[in-house]
Each structure stands twice: as structure tokens, then as C-alpha cells.
Amino acid sequence: MIRHVINVRDFSPEDLNSLFQRTTKLKSAYKNRKDWVSTQGQLLTGQILVSLFYEPSTRTRLSFESAMNLLGGRVIGTENAREFSSVVKGETLEDSIRIIGAYGDVIILRHYEVGAAARAASVSAVPIVNAGDGDGEHPTQALLDLYTIREALPRRRDLTVAFVGDLKNGRTVHSLAHLFGQTASCELATVSHINFIGPESFQIPEAVTGYLKKFGVSFEVHVSLTPEVLTTSDIIYMTRPQLERSKSEKDRERAVESLIDGKLYTLTPKLADCLKKSAIIMHPFPRNKELPEELDVLPQARYFEQAGNGLYVRMALLLDLLEK
């Protein structure tokens, strides 16, 4: 049976443990590099990754493409399929996937519509990996986020997370919160409480909080980022305003006013002084004003390492999907 990666619920705790163990081995081997070509660099020789992106991407697209190349495979695709594919001629996503599946062994799909990855998987002859579908989910980002947390805070349980910013439209937050829920009762458990911090009009959807309730993960909703919340948080996960997801001009104006021009959701150096020494700051990037560059020198700043881990997690995932 073809295995697809549509959301984080596609992974059992056993899957995650296996994936992260492999990620660690790949990361260690790649940093050593001495025997990379002979030991890892030919594992996917002869296989092709199709990079099909209907929305802009830097880290996700390039890390997947780099991962495939480093494992000996090849890459074809387009970074702007919304304009440079047959969709402009009226071709449906389903027809595109049926045809493109004949050209490669795995399709990495980013699309502007929620549910597009599931639609693609329903007709695909090769694995589909959801690289972001509208304001739905971004499962591989959640995987690298959880891996980064486990690496930075090993053997820590009952952690508290603060998600800050545009939580309504942030698919990375949706996926990671779901992942915290489904790992709450197993050895992967790391998070027991979540603080959702953002304007009322950009708060976390009820579908996500309902999922957390189902698995017993406690949470609170806050309308401002305060020292009191930060002092109790082990992980501070900042997000940018998702202006491209604004459904109307009013939504866009509201986002600019509350998330950009306002400073209620900016991690200022003064607020950062309230952090625990053991805390970590994360961000899925790209960042805007919510995460000032002055914070890059802090020992708690883990967001560049977080982005770097995307290469290793996605290498491990490609091997799980394609290795014969």
C-alpha cells in the first residue's frame, strides 16, 4: 500500500521514535561526511522527487530537494506551479497528480487550498507529502519542530509551550499542537500545557483545542504576551502574521494593526529577559517584526538550528517512504 504524509496523525508514536532515531544517525553521519557518499549518498540512486509548489517556499522546498540529492536521487519540479503549470490552462489538481506521478517516485506538494494534499493522495500512484495546504497543516514542519524540542530538552516531560501570534492561520502551529496531543500518553510525551497567545480574531481554531482536550493536554488562551506567561514557559514558539491568508481587506487591516504595527506579540529583548535559562525560542520562519534580530545571540535562540534540522528529518522521511 502506498504511504502518504498528509497530516501528523499519519504517524504513530512508534513511527516517530523510528524516524527520529534515523534522523539522529543521518545528522551525525552528514556532519562527519567522511564516508557519506559510500554509506548514505547512494541509497536513493535512480529515484526522482517531484517538487510541486503552488505557493512560495524556501526552507521546505530546498531542504527536501537537498535531502533527495544528498541521498543520491534526483529532483524535478516547479517552485511556482500556480503560474507555471497547466493549472493556468484549467487542469485540475487531480489530473496533474495522475500525470506527474508517472514522472517520479514521490511528490512533495504545497498548495494554497486546505485539503489539497488529501485530494492528491486519493488519486496518486506515488507517495504524496503535504508541504503545507493553505491554513490547514504542515506535517513535516511539526516533525522537525518536535525533533528540535527533543534534542534541545532531552528527557524533559511536562513542558509548557507558548504559541504566539497568528494562530488562526498558522498551519505550523496547527500541526505541532496536534502532534503534542497524540503523543501525550506515550514515552514521546513532552508537553503537558499550552498557552495560546494572540488577538481574539487570530486565535487558535476550536478544531485544534478540541483535539487537545481529547488527549488531556491542558491549555489557556491569552490576548497578550506577558512576563508572567513567559516565566512559566519552556518553549516559546513565535509566528509571523499570515497576511496572505487574509480572507478580506478588513482581516488584513486587523492583522496589520494588531500583529504588525502593535507590539503586543513581539518578543522584545526586555520580555526575553524573563525567560528561563533552560527555555528555547523557536520560529518556523520567515520572521517579521515579532522576533527581533537582537535575540539571535541569546543562548535560548534555537530557530536556526530548528530550520537546519529540516534537512535531516526530511532525509529520514524520504528513506522511510522510498528505500527499497
Q: Which residues are catalytic?
A: 59-60, 89, 110, 138
**What is the Cα–Cα distance from 251 to 234, expressed in whole angstroms?**
31
Rounded distance, CA 22 to CA 315, Å? Answer: 9
- Cross-sheet strand order for the sheet of 48-53: 74-78, 48-53, 106-111, 128-133
Which phi and psi angles does 226 have, rounded to 5°?
-120, 160
Residue 155 CB coordination number (10 Å): 6
Q: Is the torsion defined by CA of 135, 250, 219, 211 positive or negative?
A: negative
Alpha-carbon distance of 43 to 68, in angstroms, equals 10
- Residue 246: how many other CB atoms lie within 10 Å: 17
Phi and psi based region of residue 77 (left: phi greater than 0; alpha: psi -120 to 50; beta: remaining):
left
Positive or negative: CA dihedral 302, 220, 182, 246: negative
> In the chain, which residue ranges form alpha helices assigned H by DSSP?
13-32, 36-39, 59-70, 93-100, 116-123, 139-152, 171-182, 206-214, 227-231, 249-255, 269-272, 303-322
Three-state DSSP class for residue 149: helix
What distance in Å separates the CA atoms of residue 6 and residue 132, rounded to the nearest whole number? Answer: 9
CB 110 within 8 A of CB 60: yes
Reading the block at residue 314, the C-alpha cell is 526530511
